[in-house]
Amino acid sequence: MIRFALALIGALAAASNMYSQDCAPTPQTLAISVPSDSAEAEVFGDHEFYQVLSNGWVFALRRSKFGWSVRIYDREPIGDAVDLTAMTPPLRHAPNPRDIDGWHFRNADNTGPNNGDVNAPQRLRGFVISPSLAGTGGLRLPKEPIDPSPDDGIGWLRILDFGLDNSEPGAKARMNYLNFNACVSWPRSEAEQMTYSESTRLEFSPEDSETYGACGLSLGTHTLSAAFSPRQLGGDLDGDGALDEVAQILRSTDGRRGLALCRAGTWLDMIDLETDRVTGLRDGFVGQVEAWQWISQDEALPLHLTGYEMPEADGDYLVLERFEKEAFVLFWHDGKLQAKRMYGHVEP
């Protein structure tokens, strides 16, 4: 049990650190915010909350007698779905941090706020995620303590606001609404770490230079140079079925930033470098871009772009953004590269 207690202390310490650092992935860990599309979420009455994570797990807040309980299932929570947080200590007796009950926040006789006489976790709840439980049919309490696995993840839930009922003296208070946000994090596999490292690496390889040089990029006057990750993207922009790749470049003579689009390894389009300007793209915008994304025709728009009308295109889309300020989408139509301003919330 001592090792279980240490595991919880470690989870809470890590959770506190994650909270202070925001819910951000690292080269070693994946991290997913809950909810994924806003800063906070709310449950009330007998409602429950569910969010499917990128790996198929399901984060859930399940209604309980006195509040809600945090669960992460290895699949849709029906049938033999397994709760991967079941190893979160303590496993017996003391309140488990996954269980968020109204009486945790009241004193022993339920006449006022908890002043320390009720031993219960408060607004920050840490929990352990044990992928090894998947496919086992669930946790069987061991006779001896089990050391945390290196594959275990951690998570936290932060209580932003809540309401209580059943607050009569001597009764057990029950939550009637809960406002929260949360973070779920677990280790990347070695293959995922390599993929992440490659996707975030800003340095181009000699092979990259050879590819764009063969496509027509003058490497004497232009350099492959990335200001943000990923350093290059690819797909089928012009809809001809061949691979198109685009990289961030720098013009050596004046330091102006642009993009080099290599279509099918043969045709080169220089973007935002004053020659062959792209219709609809603001001059100099590429030098201000902070993020970009390649979106295929059959792919759903990211949540922050939902509701914006995409132009008619022959192939995929390339979205260039200044965070929450301005965005353009580049696309191929009528035999040429074009751009459309998706939104603009500030002056250029």
Instruction: Annotate 215-240 with DSSP letters as a single string.
Output: HT--TTTEEE--SSSSSEEEE-SSSS
- pTM above threshold 0.85: no
Bond from prior residue into 169 cis (ω within 30 degrees of 0): no
Distance CA 248, CA 51 (A): 35
Count the residues in the chain.
348
CA dihedral 154, 157, 158, 162 (to 10 degrees): -160
In the predicted structure, residue 122 carries a pLDDT above the cut 50: yes
Q: How far from chain centre, in Å, is Cα 159?
A: 20
Q: What is the mean pLDDT of the chain?
A: 87
Distance CA 122, CA 99 (A): 11
Q: Hey, what are 293's tokens? A: 């994304």
Summarize pLDDT for 273-320 with one digit per residue, the tens: 876 689 999 999 999 999 999 999 888 887 778 888 999 999 999 999
Least-confidence region, from 56-70, 142-156, 236-250: 142-156
Summarize pLDDT for 164-203 with one digit per residue, the tens: 999 899 999 999 999 999 999 999 888 888 877 777 788 9
Give me the pLDDT at residue 109, please.
95
In the predicted structure, residue 16 carries a pLDDT above the cut 60: no
- Cβ–Cβ contacts within 10 Å for residue 82, how many? 21
Phi/psi at 212 (5° precision): -75, -30
Least-confidence region, from 52-56, 92-96, 171-175, 326-330: 92-96
- At 132, is the secondary structure helix, strand, or coil? helix
The percentage of the chain sitting over the pLDDT mark of 90, rounded to a whole number, equals: 66
Give me the pLDDT at residue 1, please.
40
